[in-house]
Structure 1
């Protein structure tokens, strides 16, 4: 148990009713998980306001309430603490409760529209190969050295983050690599964390359902860099027009990487093919199993980060050449009939364009590129016609299909995707709502040497409709379908 006043250290407090010398057992923001002598933090979420569940938390045994708005009726013997921001309070309290675990390892945050998962996961892989105990907080999973925990959000809630970091401390972890989403930053989930450094990958059209404007989305990402201490470093992709913006107000040591312009860390693509690409980094040639311009940027960011964290240059280059692709990121399978199927998480216009650019740069021109793609429900609607335009413009054939419709009508989503198809490209397009049937159709259309791109879900192993998730793995399904067609 911890003293309430100790875990409130650093929180922006407006008023207190009761004593903060009370002992609390745990911190909760979900009233269903509250137990005896827990402190309940009433957080205002996008869908639910925790203030509505204060009575439920008290009935479950909470002895302290943290809130932005004081209840009208205060219960005797209960401590009420009014704070400026419930989300920020939750994060700072979680950090204090677990002993500020981010101070006891080197924590690196990775933010941007695309590349977060690849960079953080491959940094984890590289440092493991270098012999270190390493942690990972990513879209796909949480790793506490060798222990794996499935992740549910790009940036977990503040309690999960700090509890995981505390477990990493106990396991002797020296480095941790963390995806930092714009939602996580905006919802203050990273408050109280001490970062060794931060990486900016790129910025393009995404999450405008949440942030409303691109400027707000960009400025939210920038907050990660604004909050870095002067002892940290800030690494940015200076080829991206928003790269310099990230560094404007940071106190951290500024570092840049680029393929096209002058930067502290530079790389050049010498050769690119389906089996990998030859890169030149700091006058040293490196063969990477990861292909495409976007992966060249990822590899360069990893190289720069490893140097900034103290690894020796030649060891980094050797380890980079050994890195394997991340699940659902340009993950490919070549069938017995020489049909290449590629599964990629590309769910933004820029990511889809990057993947199709890579594929089109590698093909000889005689093969068909058959793209299977859709857009998720309850997310940014403005990108749907853009995705439809890119897929139909840059592919030989396209099958539009369902992709996690959530609470929206799949057919209505597909109409919005189709709206982006120009007249000259309509002959290329099929629309098949059932995702498995869409993938099957793409496999049936494919001839030897053709390339099938299945975009949008990547590593996800489910399809979500009206709150229900069913098992669905693009990679497994396309592999099974192509194998069955060979018989």
Structure 2
């Protein structure tokens, strides 16, 4: 238990009713989880408002309430604290409650549209191979050194983040690599965290349903860099036109990386094959199992970060050559019939184009590229016709299907994808709502040496429809289908 006044250190308070000199058991922002002597933080969410559940939290034993608006009825014996922003207050309180765990390790945040999971996951891999105790907070999972924990969000809530950072402190983790999404930044989940460094990968069309404009999306990402201290490093991809924007006004030490322009860290792709690529980094050649220019950027960002964190350069290059692909990121399987199936998390126009660019650069021209792709429901609708255009333009055959439809009718999402298809490409597309049937059709159409790309869901092992999640693993499904067809 901790004193409420200690938990509130650094939180901007506008009004207080009652004593802050009370002991608190846990911090809660879900009234259903409140227990005796807890503090309940009322959050104004997109779907629900925690202020509507203050009475319920008190009935369940809440000793204190943190809110943006004091309720009309004040209950004796309960402390009420009014704050400007409930999300920000929650994050700072969580950090205080868990003894500011980010200060006791080197926390590096990775932000951008594409590449966050690959860079953070491979940094985790590399530092583990180098002999360190390492943490990872990513879309795919949370790692507390060797312990694997599930995660539901790219950037978990502030309590979850600090709880796991505290776990890392307890076992002596030295480095932690964390994906930092625009949602997480906007919702203040990273407030109170101390970052050793931040990495910017790239910026392209995504989440405009949430941020409303590209400028707002970009500026939200920039907040991570604006909050860095003078001791931290700010590493940015300046081949992206927004790369230098991220470095404006940051107090951190500025570093750049690029393949095309002059930068502090540079790389050159010398050779690209389906089983890997040869890259020159700092005048040293390395072979990596990760293919494509987009992965060359990822490798370069990892190399630069390792250097900035003090690893020896030649040792880093050696370890880079040993890194394995991240699940759902250009993960491929070759059937007995020599059909290549690739599963990738490409769920944005830029990511889909990058993957198809890589595939088309590696093919001889005699094989067909068959792309299975959908778009998520209840998300940015403006990217759907763009995704449809890219898939149909850059593939020999494109099969439009369901991704995670959520509450939207799958056919309505597919209709919006079809709207982006140019007249000359209409004969190249099929629309099949059932995702498994769409993948099966791709397998049936493919012959020896053809390439099947199953895009959009990547590492996800479920499909979400009308509030329900069913088991669905793109990689296992396409692999099983190809194996069964070869018997």
Return the TM-score normalized by structure 1. Answer: 1.00
Matching residue of 2:115: 115
Matching residue of 1:217: 217
| 1:329 to partner: Cα distance | 0.1
In 1, the alpha carbon distance for the partners of 2:107 and 2:350 equals 28
Matching residue of 1:175: 175
Q: Secondary structure at the match of 1:459?
A: coil
1:473-484 equivalences in 2 (<5 Å): 473-484=473-484
In 2, the alpha carbon distance for the partners of 1:323 and 1:24 equals 45
1:139-158 equivalences in 2 (<5 Å): 139-158=139-158
| 1:377 to partner: Cα distance | 0.2
Cα displacement string for residues 102-140 of structure 1 (whole angstroms, at most 9, x for unaligned residues): 000000000000000000000000000000000000000
1:433-448 equivalences in 2 (<5 Å): 433-448=433-448
Matching residue of 2:191: 191
Runs of 4+ in 1 over 3 A off after TM superposition: none
Cα displacement string for residues 126-166 of structure 1 (whole angstroms, at most 9, x for unaligned residues): 00000000000000000000000011000000000000000
In 1, the alpha carbon distance for the partners of 2:51 and 2:410 equals 34
Matching residue of 2:326: 326
Cα displacement string for residues 378-437 of structure 1 (whole angstroms, at most 9, x for unaligned residues): 000000000000000000001000000001111100000110001000000000000000
In 1, the alpha carbon distance for the partners of 2:249 and 2:211 equals 21
In 1, the alpha carbon distance for the partners of 2:215 and 2:348 equals 17
Cα displacement string for residues 50-105 of structure 1 (whole angstroms, at most 9, x for unaligned residues): 10110110011000000000001110110000001000000000000000000000
Does residue 265 of the first structure (1) align with residue 257 of the second (2)? no
| 1:46 to partner: Cα distance | 1.0
| 1:171 to partner: Cα distance | 1.1
Return the TM-score normalized by structure 2. Answer: 1.00
In 2, the alpha carbon distance for the partners of 1:453 and 1:62 equals 51
Matching residue of 2:229: 229
Matching residue of 2:159: 159
Unaligned runs of 5+ in 2: none
Q: Secondary structure at the match of 2:377?
A: coil
In 1, the alpha carbon distance for the partners of 2:369 and 2:27 equals 52
| 1:295 to partner: Cα distance | 0.1
Matching residue of 1:456: 456
Unaligned runs of 5+ in 1: none
| 1:375 to partner: Cα distance | 0.2
In 2, the alpha carbon distance for the partners of 1:147 and 1:172 equals 13
Matching residue of 1:101: 101
Matching residue of 2:396: 396
Count how many residue pairs are aligned between Structure 1 and Structure 2.
487
